[in-house]
């Protein structure tokens, strides 16, 4: 029987706007190894996508443009340095199409917060442009392109809960019976630059002033399978936390306030300065969020469940 070649299949694409929702991520376990010759650190991490979303809309256009509204509007460059533009161009280059689109970003995920907001937007751009241009990439194809944009971008193409290795770009899903976890996200005023936090960890380790490295993700994965928030609370950990606290000592007050408010555990999210707290259930999460806001230790505290899907057309 005659079968069409891959190249002969028409690229249809979308005529109307394509809207993509993408979540923020936290790391339930962030084990950081020594710096590699390329400057990156070898990671063993467990990523977790939470229900705090950005939205990217892609429309047909004659050039590639990006506009934005919401959190961080006016602070973020919208030129070729923006991860959204870089992701769209990378997809165009890989698929041989013209990088023409009008992209509009509605942001809720705070910038430089340790929640991978920029990486999320890049993942959204890959999914949105793939649909707009009809380039027919699989998730795995998009994740491979995503790895060129940043270490966290492949995870945000998949979402859920996943193991990350290498510099974080090698992602494999964590298979577990569905469980919803309840988080409180305490957003700080001002961000922390990820490279500065990794550099601070290297400095602390050279001085033997950092806590012992977390190592393997085994305990965290076993805790996830037990589906008991008190067990998961005992297994959360982040090697970057000591470095974030060293650069931003006030974060200790945030962590203390969350635990005092009844959180089962609190950790710095990624490179910070956002702190995330595990709550027993939804109503506990609401109480902890209110208590954190009343304590005045953060700009904003919001609740978010996880895991949720990665970047997807809605
Ligand atoms: O991959 P991405 O561009 O998002 O990384 C931003 C920065 O974070 C890197 O330039 C590096 O300083 C640091 N990083 C690291 N090790 C990793 C991931 C990121 O040192 N595994």
The pLDDT tens digits of the residues spanning 281-296 come to 999 999 999 999 999 9
Mutation to probe ligand 1, out of 117, 198, 201 (largest number of atoms < 8 A from CB) = 198
Residue nearest to atom 10 of ligand 1 (CA): 195
How remote is the CA of residue 147 from the centroid of ligand 1, in Å?
12
Q: Residue 168 CA: which ligand 1 atom is closest?
A: 21
Mutation to probe ligand 1, out of 43, 81, 83, 151 (largest number of atoms < 8 A from CB) = 151
107 is catalytic: no
Token look-up 């460059």 returns 77
Query: Which domains does the chain possess?
Result: 15-173 (3.30.230.10), 181-216+229-305 (3.30.70.890)
Q: For residue 130, what pLDDT is reported?
A: 98
Identified catalytic residue from 25, 54, 121, 130: 25
- Contact present, 94 and 55 (Cβ < 8 Å): no
Tokens coding 110: 């705070």
19 is catalytic: no
Token look-up 């805790």 returns 223
Q: For residue 13, what pLDDT is reported?
A: 87
DSSP state letters, the chain: -----GGGS-----SS-EEEEEEEEEEEEEEEEEEPTTS-EEEEEEEEEEEEEEEEEEE--SSEEEEEEETTTTTS--STTSHHHHHHHHHHHHHT----EEEEEEE-SPTTSSS-HHHHHHHHHHHHHHHHHT----HHHHHHHHHHH-TTHHHHHHBSEEEEETTTTEEEEPP-----EEEEEEEPSS---HHHHHHHHHHHHHTT-SPPP---SHHHHHHHHHT-HHHHHHH-EETTHHHHHHH-TTHHHHHHHHHHTT-SEEEE-TTSS-EEEEESSHHHHHHHHHHHHHHT-SSEEEEEEE--B-SEE-
Q: Report the pLDDT averaged over residues 196-210.
A: 98
88 burial (CB, 10 Å; 0-12 / 13-18 / 19+) is buried
How remote is the CA of residue 118 from the centroid of ligand 1, in Å?
13
Percent of the chain with pLDDT over 70: 96
Instruction: Give the tens place of pLDDT for each residue, 242-263.
Output: 999 999 999 999 999 999 999 9
285 burial (CB, 10 Å; 0-12 / 13-18 / 19+) is buried
Q: Report the pLDDT averaged over residues 127-137.
A: 98
Ligand 1 binding pocket (C-beta < 6 A) is: 40-41, 43, 150-152, 167-168, 194-195, 198
Q: For residue 3, what pLDDT is reported?
A: 53
Q: For residue 8, what pLDDT is reported?
A: 45
Q: Which band of pLDDT confidence, cut at 50, 70 and 90, is reported for residue 176? A: confident
Instruction: Give the tens place of pLDDT for each residue, 4-34.
Output: 554 444 567 888 899 999 999 999 999 999 9
Q: For residue 10, what pLDDT is reported?
A: 52
Q: For residue 276, what pLDDT is reported?
A: 98
- Of 179, 139, 131, 186, residue with least CA distance to 159: 139
Identified catalytic residue from 54, 121, 130, 152: 152
Q: For residue 163, what pLDDT is reported?
A: 98
How remote is the CA of residue 165 from the centroid of ligand 1, in Å?
13
Q: Is the pLDDT of residue 165 over 70?
A: yes
Instruction: Give the tens place of pLDDT for each residue, 30-75.
Output: 999 999 999 999 999 999 999 999 999 999 999 999 999 999 999 9
Instruction: Give the tens place of pLDDT for each residue, 100-121.
Output: 999 999 999 999 999 999 999 9
Q: Is the pLDDT of residue 204 over 60?
A: yes
Residue nearest to atom 7 of ligand 1 (CA): 195
Q: For residue 2, what pLDDT is reported?
A: 54
Q: Report the pLDDT averaged over residues 228-249.
A: 98
Q: For residue 5, what pLDDT is reported?
A: 52
């Amino acid at each position: 029987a005659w079968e069409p070649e891959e190249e002969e299949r028409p690229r249809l694409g979308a005529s109307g706007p394509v809207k993509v929702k993408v979540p923020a991520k936290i790391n339930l376990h962030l084990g950081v190894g020594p710096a590699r010759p390329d400057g990156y650190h070898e990671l063993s991490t467990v990523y977790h996508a939470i229900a705090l979303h950005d939205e990217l809309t892609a429309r047909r256009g004659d050039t590639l443009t990006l506009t934005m509204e919401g959190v961080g509007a006016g602070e973020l460059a919208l030129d070729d340095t923006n991860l959204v533009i870089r992701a769209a161009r990378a997809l165009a280059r890989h698929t041989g199409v013209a990088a023409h689109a009008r992209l509009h970003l509605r942001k809720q995920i705070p910038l430089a917060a340790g929640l991978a907001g920029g990486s999320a937007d890049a993942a959204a751009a890959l999914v949105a442009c793939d649909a707009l241009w009809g380039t027919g990439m699989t998730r795995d194809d998009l994740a491979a392109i995503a790895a060129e944009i940043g270490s966290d971008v492949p995870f945000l193409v998949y979402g859920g809960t996943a193991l990350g290795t290498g510099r974080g770009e090698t992602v494999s899903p964590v298979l577990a019976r569905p469980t919803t976890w309840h988080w409180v996200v305490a957003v700080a005023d001002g961000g922390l630059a990820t490279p500065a936090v990794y550099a601070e960890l290297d400095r602390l380790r050279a001085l033997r002033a950092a806590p012992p490295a977390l190592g393997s993700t085994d305990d965290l994965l076993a805790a996830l399978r037990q589906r008991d928030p008190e067990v998961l609370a005992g297994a959360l950990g982040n090697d970057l936390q000591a470095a974030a606290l060293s650069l931003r000592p006030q974060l200790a007050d945030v962590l203390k306030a969350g635990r005092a408010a009844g959180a089962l555990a609190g950790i710095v999210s990624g490179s910070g300065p956002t702190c995330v707290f595990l709550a027993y259930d939804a109503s506990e999460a609401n109480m902890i969020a209110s208590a954190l806001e009343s304590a005045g230790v953060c700009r904003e505290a919001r609740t978010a469940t996880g895991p949720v899907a990665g970047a997807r057309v809605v």
